[in-house]
């Protein structure tokens, strides 16, 4: 369990460092939906 938690934390931190445009594009890929922020 400890290992899993560490991995999740690392992924979360990496995700936070991703620029907003890239993260939005990533979400669009995953959900197959255009994400629009106003």
- Provide the pLDDT for residue 4: 59
Q: pLDDT digit string (tens) for 1-38?
A: 556 555 555 655 555 666 777 777 777 788 777 666 55
- Provide the pLDDT for residue 3: 60
How many CA atoms lie within 13 Å of 32's alpha carbon, on the beta-carbon side?
0
> Which pTM value belongs to this model?
0.32
Structure tokens at 15: 């995700």
- Provide the pLDDT for residue 26: 79
State how far the Cα of 1 lies from the Cα of 33, in Å rounded to an integer: 33
């Amino acid at each position: 369990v400890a290992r899993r938690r560490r991995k999740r934390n690392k992924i979360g931190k990496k995700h936070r460092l991703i620029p907003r445009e890239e993260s939005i594009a990533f979400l669009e890929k995953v959900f197959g939906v255009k994400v629009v922020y106003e």
